Structure 1
Amino acid sequence: MVKLYENGVYLLHGRDIIEDGPEAAEKLRAKNGHKVLKTEAAEQTISYRILKKHNVSDNMEDLNIKFDKLTSHDITFVGIIQTARASGLERFPIPYVLTNCHNSLCAVGGTINEDDHMFGLTCAKKYGGVYVPPHQAVIHQYAREMLAGCGKMILGSDSHTRYGALGTMAMGEGGPELVKQLLNKTYDIRMPGVIAVYLDGRPVKGVGPQDVALAIIKAVFQNGYVNNKVMEFVGPGVAKLSADFRIGIDVMTTETTCLSSIWETDEVIREFYEIHGREGEYEELAPGDVAYYDGMVYVDLSKVRPMIAMPFHPSNAYTIEEVNANLTDILHDVEEKARVSLDNAVPYSLQDKIRDGKLYVEQGIIAGCAGGGFENICAAADIIRGRNIGADAFTFSVYPASTPIYMELVKNGAVADLLEAGTIVKTAFCGPCFGAGDTPANHAFSIRHTTRNFPNREGSKLQSGQISSVALMDARSIAATAANKGYLTPATDLDVEYSSPKYHFDSSIYANRVFDSHGKAEPEVEIQFGPNIKDWPKMAELPQNLLLKVVSEIHDPVTTTDELIPSGETSSYRSNPLGLAEFALSRKDPAYVGRAKEVQKAEKAIEEGICPLEVLDELKLVMAEVKKRFANVGEGNLGIGSTIFAVKPGDGSAREQAASCQKVLGGWANIACEYATKRYRSNLINWGMLPFITKEDHTALSFKNGDYIFVPDIRRTVEDKADEVKAYVVDSGLREMTLYLGALTDTERDIILKGCLINYYRG
């Protein structure tokens, strides 16, 4: 089904594969007629060409990228614009689209959410942007319909910013990276590796894009095969897939931890642009005659079967047939993994989901940027037509990804078929994907065609004893399960004649409701603020020496951004830095905020000219030990703050608040064995936090929660561009340890020295 190549590969004429190795040169000469240089072949990927086009430096190893367009939603754009305003923003220099698909439920938190929307509308007018009102479209569907273009690059503040199937290289990053673009600065990265995803064959009837995506994620996530690389989709199988099918695979590449994605384009994609009235955005994209890739994921589409990603990660995937055949064993395995993910905080069992030897689920949902596409919902309607979901606990909800899709589903009768079967059809909203919509009952099991199934994303609150589970599936198998009244069923088990209706896009829907400044700023417009919208607090520069207290220690194999700052109920506070910070690590380590604030008293005392030893008594013994060896450390050259340790933090969302919440609570660093994604590490740096790496085994660290770590001359270390950092654990003496900063650009070092991105741009 999926094969990973151990070495790099050469791809000839987009079809023939030659794996790199001792015989590669001879095979290349035989097929191509002349010697091929690897360096030249590496420049023949689609990815290289697009990156080169957008790189404003002369160096293709260290890229300075300027994007064509930006996009954000309503739990990110307030913080981004506030940061940009504090840094000198005058107008949006490139198209910036503000969508409203996360904080859409304005009953949550009173008027807080609608205040954020009005902030967005007035900013779009003032700075020259585009404003998409709530329920019109989810962020990524609007971008597909109205922003994407072949050979273009788009930067978004949502991690699932992926439009590669449409020939657009898109990246999801934390807000500060968008701020840089708004201030006419660049996105600076090393030239990423490029991995070919070679599609062969044709999917069997009943298999959908989520099935293919989960099969790929299962193969590459744990081993980091595509981590921070670009996935380039090629091969004869591409032509066998519709645009919607490609889009459905592409959006899920985020769950592999890759940097971005791109696909070869053809007449199918040309037709997509024609349907949406934007024919001029089409361009044929294909690798050169001989292209070199750093690796290859080979996918035989004909062998993919309906998949289910069991709780609590998209990579925890099985075929549905496998689950049904080994139900007790697989559920037991999930329960054992859950004990790690949930820290044994609540009793967790799935055995009662077995009824008469079958798995019963209480909820099915098709929604968002992954599931809410036209073809997915039409297929679901075909499957459930003439059937019903029954009158038991099982519920079924469908969220079309945009109002144009919804209208077409109404016109072709799909909505009527769904409603007649007992389905609830709702408006475009991302809530089911991050825990703010259709939250299941305690201990319920939900199957969803959405993007993620991390712990808590469906709304669980472990501290209150509330837990439910989400598994990811394709819309087709969810509909088959719904037709079977909640019993897990692969779509391949049903003999369905799929109608595959043609899609017609009605542009008048957006023309009538979306505010588009067409790039014209109106400086005289007053921004509308709500009482919950707050400015960022003042942040200090990096001091000469640092004293850090470890206030949380996490030993899970991977820590998601959801665990660093929860989604769902916190959304209404994303525009309030201090208010949101109260939720930091609340699901993972509820005592974290209190510990961090206690340490922060010392830093605040320093700012007010008070001796920190007077407000935090434990510092007296700590500083006494430090001064035995570093007598000159003290007033004027010492910063005091907190840090957390996690084995591999930052998987999942691009949300900058996973870092900024720590910063506003006095955090100065993270210590990790590695960082799960580039975007989380970038968020730390942009908020002036040191992204420390330890090479110690996490089971035998030289420090523990509650310890103080003294880092002498850290400012000079950053200024001198050193990687190795000498530090000391303070107890009844100073125990030396070594931390590492990893590769930092000159700009990143300057941001850390200044204390955060806002300070850096203020000068």
Structure 2
Amino acid sequence: MANLTHKLLAEHLASGRLTPGSDITVRVDQVLIEDATGTMAAMQFEMLGVESIAVPLAVMYVDHNVLQIDDKNMQDHHYLRTFSARYGLRYSPAGHGISHYIHLEHFARPGGVLVGADSHTSTAGALGMFALGAGGLEVAVAMAGYGFDFVCPTVVGVELTGRLDGVAEAKDVVLELLRRHGVRGGRGKVFEFFGEGVASLTTSARATICNMIVETGASTAVFPSDEQTLLWLRAQNREADYRPLAADSGADYDDVEHLDLSALVPLVALPHSPGNVRPVADLPRTEVVQVCVGSSVNSSYEDLATVAAILKGHSVHPAVQLTVTPGSRQILQTIIASGVYEDLMQAGARMLEPVCGPCVGIGQAPTAGAPSLRTFNRNFPGRSGTAEDSVYLCSPSTAAASALEGAIIDASGVLIGPLRPAAPPNPGIHDLHIAGVLPEGKRRSIEIERGPNLVPPPLPDSLPTDVDARVLIMTGDDISTGDMAPDGAIAMSVWSNIAVCARFMFRRLDPEFHDRATEWGGGIIVGGENYGQGSSREHAALIPLYLGVRVVAARSYARIHRRNLIAAGIVPLVLPREADTIVGQRWVIPGLRSALAAGNTSVKADVDGGSQLTLGLDFSPGEREILSAGGLLAHVRTGGRPLLGHDEGSSAGAASAPEFRPEP
């Protein structure tokens, strides 16, 4: 009996077998790109030399770099807008909303495959899509019609029973899974939800769970398409997109776990990891200086209405700054029409525009060392924009109650008024503001605007036969891509120029890294467990490539970053636990290229002082081909990837759209 994940993948399977660990290629229905990763994805798409996108729908969202402290952000926006018009993408401008919420509202469809250049693309699993985050180059290749390659995951069935009681929320569901699995336990897995408890979860609640499931290291999550899905699509005037989908009765899973919704209590993730989870009631009194609600998770209408219901008639504690971010312009309209906006404002909340903002360290950086409580999805060190931050993650009701108290508290003892009924959403706002697709004949005459901030990424040379290099840095466990390509207004504004962006790599860990790498002409990066967790940003692979790094050795890797290294032509080797390394140590790895091509599972490194290291070569056949070719772009250009056709009758085809309209 088939689970839902395998049903979705089988319907789109172009090659391979649905066996965990096997290389598979799937046809892609939809592509999501956002501006922070979008410029690199777009420039690499242009390098493929195709005339148009070759998927039914692709949408470019501007939601990250919108602060515009200088002209770099707008340079990027002009490039992305004209790139989208030229190649057939729809374009959502700055201020219209966060990609994942808009996509859920307007584009996501049950039964489809969505690939996005953002790790939280998984949000669309709430509508019964197989939605996967990836690096920009892999997304560009998929958008060009080559399909999407990945290693078939294992499928964990999560049986939900009961229903949420009291003040436990959907955020507590995913925090409970993080409590069980940490930030590494989900690697190589898809979490598929089933059971009688599923029906009680709204689409917004499911989106919260699917968005944040990737913090376990998982590939994605998926819910069935059912009555809740139909209600959501009907409210968005998209009832025709509905398609009932579920696992077969008695479906087979690689593993099964159970979660009783009625037994959940409010939970909180302590600094500095989403996996550091405890019950709120178990915390000692922790006073906070800041509470932030919203981001790509927990900025739905019901999330904001929950916060307003707790705050109504009260004022935020005088020592606390409270910010609220709606997920989209549609949600902003809805909270205004329903009175939620007024309730939040009267309580003292600062209302922010619907963009990513403080979630990625752009604005609202907290005081160093002072606790900041957020409904966001990540609390990695420094992600808030403050190097010595102290960020906690929680549900909307915990956030609201704590904003009143001035300290993190369990909302169980707080009087919560009735939620204001939602005013009917206005789905038409998306067609008013998201640019449509021009006819192909008109697209070819469009000139793409390229400001000086737009610099094409480096291209790897062929993988050297042998490696002779020194260790540049040794990192600890759970190092995030935010440590390699930092968040924040200043660093993110230069993500379109790898040479400038490189100056920020490992700045929090080792301010001398960039200069040392430049002086040594490259080298080897040594990491610990779960190296490269977090964002899909391929800058974390393109910067080392630019600096001359062709080998990384870590004990284990986060999925997307590992694939980004391979796509960039950098070999992610597996480091033995007993390895004893120091910065400056010289490694000579003879025959690395031939060992990869031969299918060897290990290679020897001769180390200073006469010792040897045995390094693992843990790659699928497809990954070995890409590395041997010198990276994914070279692999595609030399014919290593065949173009795929696409079934135009797919249930996840492109939505109708008005013609492209330039920004005023």
Using structure 1 for the length normalisation, give the TM-score.
0.80
1:394 maps to 2:394: no
Counterpart in the other structure of 1:650:
532
Query: 1:316-715 to 2 correspondence within 5 Å?
Result: 316-323=276-283, 327=284, 358-390=285-317, 392-461=318-387, 467-484=388-405, 486-499=406-419, 501-517=421-437, 520=440, 522-554=443-475, 556-568=476-488, 569-600=490-521, 641-648=522-529, 649-675=531-557, 677-697=558-578, 701-715=579-593
Counterpart in the other structure of 2:15:
57
Question: Pick from 100, 107, 118: which aligns with 1:158?
Answer: 118
SS in 2 for 1:559: coil
C-alpha distance in 1, partners of 2:534/2:288? 25
1:68 maps to 2:33: no
C-alpha distance in 1, partners of 2:247/2:629? 42
Letter in structure 2 aligned against 1:578: A
Deviations 1:103-128 (A, max 9, x none): 01112xx1100111111110111001
Larger radius of gyration: 1
SS in 1 for 2:550: strand
Letter in structure 1 aligned against 2:39: V
Letter in structure 2 aligned against 1:240: S
C-alpha distance in 2, partners of 1:226/1:558? 14
Counterpart in the other structure of 2:67:
105
Letter in structure 1 aligned against 2:565: L
C-alpha distance in 2, partners of 1:693/1:572? 33
CA drift at 1:696: 3.5
1:46 maps to 2:4: yes
C-alpha contact 2:340 2:420 (8 A) present in aligned 1: no
Counterpart in the other structure of 2:227:
267
Deviations 1:352-411 (A, max 9, x none): xxxxxx321011111112121110001111110000014x33111100000010001000
Counterpart in the other structure of 2:250:
290
C-alpha distance in 1, partners of 2:17/2:312? 57
SS in 1 for 2:14: coil
Counterpart in the other structure of 1:304:
264
Deviations 1:467-523 (A, max 9, x none): 221100111111112223x12222221122322513522123222221111674701
Deviations 1:71-101 (A, max 9, x none): 1111111001111212223211122111011
SS in 2 for 1:170: strand
Aligned-pair identity in percent equals 29
SS in 2 for 1:155: strand
Letter in structure 2 aligned against 1:68: D
C-alpha distance in 2, partners of 1:232/1:240? 16
SS in 1 for 2:49: coil
C-alpha distance in 2, partners of 1:585/1:174? 20
Question: Pick from 714, 730, 741: which aligns with 2:617?
Answer: 741
The 1:448–1:512 alpha-carbon spacing in structure 2 relative to 1, beyond 3 Å, is same
1:717 maps to 2:644: no
Deviations 1:681-703 (A, max 9, x none): 10110000011012232xxx243
Counterpart in the other structure of 1:175:
136
C-alpha contact 1:149 1:166 (8 A) present in aligned 2: yes
Letter in structure 2 aligned against 1:693: V
Using structure 2 for the length normalisation, give the TM-score.
0.92
1:759 maps to 2:634: yes
Structure 2: 5+ residue runs without aligned partners?
639-664
Q: CA RMSD in A?
A: 1.6
C-alpha distance in 1, partners of 2:316/2:73? 34
C-alpha distance in 2, partners of 1:228/1:282? 29
CA drift at 1:533: 0.7
C-alpha contact 2:297 2:377 (8 A) present in aligned 1: yes
Letter in structure 2 aligned against 1:400: P
SS in 2 for 1:195: strand
Question: Pick from 44, 47, 50: which aligns with 1:83?
Answer: 44
Query: 1:3-22 to 2 correspondence within 5 Å?
Result: none
C-alpha distance in 1, partners of 2:423/2:241? 19
Letter in structure 2 aligned against 1:76: T
Structure 1: 5+ residue runs without aligned partners?
1-40, 328-357, 462-466, 601-640
C-alpha distance in 1, partners of 2:230/2:420? 19
CA drift at 1:413: 0.6
C-alpha contact 1:703 1:729 (8 A) present in aligned 2: no
SS in 2 for 1:119: helix
Letter in structure 1 aligned against 2:141: K
Letter in structure 1 aligned against 2:481: T
SS in 2 for 1:661: helix
C-alpha contact 2:291 2:323 (8 A) present in aligned 1: yes
C-alpha contact 1:702 1:729 (8 A) present in aligned 2: no
C-alpha distance in 2, partners of 1:389/1:178? 43
| Matched positions, count | 630
C-alpha distance in 2, partners of 1:77/1:218? 33
C-alpha distance in 1, partners of 2:90/2:209? 27
C-alpha contact 2:368 2:390 (8 A) present in aligned 1: no
CA drift at 1:272: 0.2
C-alpha distance in 2, partners of 1:400/1:407? 9
SS in 1 for 2:611: strand
The 1:60–1:319 alpha-carbon spacing in structure 2 relative to 1, beyond 3 Å, is closer
C-alpha distance in 2, partners of 1:511/1:245? 25
Counterpart in the other structure of 1:235:
195
C-alpha contact 1:447 1:472 (8 A) present in aligned 2: yes
SS in 2 for 1:535: coil
C-alpha contact 1:367 1:432 (8 A) present in aligned 2: no
Letter in structure 2 aligned against 1:51: L
Letter in structure 1 aligned against 2:567: N
Deviations 1:8-50 (A, max 9, x none): xxxxxxxxxxxxxxxxxxxxxxxxxxxxxxxxx3xx1000110
The 1:192–1:131 alpha-carbon spacing in structure 2 relative to 1, beyond 3 Å, is same
C-alpha distance in 2, partners of 1:393/1:643? 47
Letter in structure 1 aligned against 2:5: S
SS in 1 for 2:496: coil
1:124 maps to 2:84: yes
C-alpha distance in 2, partners of 1:208/1:164? 18
SS in 1 for 2:120: coil
CA drift at 1:713: 1.7
The 1:319–1:284 alpha-carbon spacing in structure 2 relative to 1, beyond 3 Å, is same
C-alpha contact 1:565 1:586 (8 A) present in aligned 2: no
1:750 maps to 2:646: no
C-alpha distance in 2, partners of 1:519/1:599? 51
Letter in structure 1 aligned against 2:571: L
C-alpha distance in 2, partners of 1:432/1:268? 31
Query: 1:185-264 to 2 correspondence within 5 Å?
Result: 185-221=146-182, 224-264=184-224
C-alpha distance in 1, partners of 2:564/2:607? 26
